[in-house]
Structure 1
Amino acid sequence: MGRKLIIGLLLSFVLTQVANAQERGKVTVIKDPQIDSLISKRLELSRLEGVGNSVSSDGFRVQIFSGLGREDAYDAQSQFKAVYPTVRSYVSYTQPNYRVRVGDFRTRLEAQKFLNELRKLYSSLFIFAERINPR
């Protein structure tokens, strides 16, 4: 009789577990509450204007320098900043060349207008499509 009682209890336990596991249409999400605060903070930052507070998007930049020398690239960037202090500039390295690209233009036309303005200062200019940091 004790054996039948144990088997009966075990069987009822297993059946209740199976019944609980087969609830249809119900999903339980367990997450850290800080996830919601991080998501809302990121959305808030993407709405603000300023450096580093916006999400990057596709756009265009004008390349004003390409060469082997690191110092030459940073010199070109400094000279550019002296003339255009409000325009962002970026130094990058792709072996074997350093590149200085300027501006965060949403359209190719904006980049072309700025390139035309830069022609008086630089001889070799190119427009590149890449990820930009919008204002």
Structure 2
Amino acid sequence: MLLAILLSTFTHLTKAQTRGRVEVVKDPRVDTLIAKRSTLNKMGGGAVGHFGTSSYGYRVQFFSGASRKAAFEAQNKVQQGHPGIRTYITYRDPNYKVKAGNFRSRMEAVKLMEELKGTFPIMFIISEKIDLPKLDTNTTEQ
């Protein structure tokens, strides 16, 4: 009886593993999107974020302290001297931290540190997720 059940099960398993044919029907634009995504990933992009794409990079932390007012003053100093560089304030009890930049390379962050050296004596380069610039998606393809 046990032998009959095993033979029956084995026969069904071998029939279930027959080869078949799968046909994928998709919109041709899917291939275009996959190619664009691949290009973005090769350029250093990652997951799509609020500002375009995000990836790991570098920021310069130039302030850390318990005073909210001092954190905003430090942020204003950097924004006045470098209006094209984004600054970020974070609060983790009990300290505020102020960082600047969305740098893909450490050398870019070092350059900003050199420029800020006279204003802020203690700075660090932080590796974290950064916001990359938005890509121009208004190009037309033919």
**TM superposition score normalised by structure 2:** 0.58
2:58 matched to which residue of 1? 60
Could you list the per-position Cα deviations for residues 72-95 of structure 1 after superposition, in whole angstroms to 9, with x for gaps in the alignment? Answer: 111211121111111000000112
Structure number having the greater helix percentage = 1
5+ long unaligned stretches in structure 2: 1-19, 23-29, 41-49, 134-142
SS in structure 2 of the partner of residue 55 of structure 1 = strand
The CA distance in 2 between the partners of 1:74 and 1:128, in whole Å, is: 19
The letter of the residue matching 2:90 is: S
Counterparts of residues 114-133 of structure 1 (less than 5 Å) = 114-133=112-131
Residue from 100, 104, 125 that aligns with 2:98: 100
Q: Which amino acid aligns with 2:61?
A: Q
Alignment counterpart, residue 69 of structure 1, candidates 62, 67, 70: 67
Which aligned pairs between 1:1-135 and structure 2 lie closer than 5 A? Answer: 52-135=50-133
Structure showing greater Rg: 1
Amino acid corresponding to residue 97 of structure 1 in structure 2: N
One-letter code aligned to 1:55: T
Counterpart of 2:52 in 1: which secondary structure?
A: coil
1:55-75 CA-partner distances (Å, limit 9, x unpaired): 111000000100001121112
The amino acid across from 2:72 in the alignment is Y
How many residue pairs get matched? 101
Partner Cα distance (1:78, 1:113) in 2: 19
Superposed structure 1 runs of 4+ greater than 6 Å apart:
none
Normalising by structure 1, we get a TM-score of 0.61
The CA RMSD over aligned residues, in Å, is 3.0
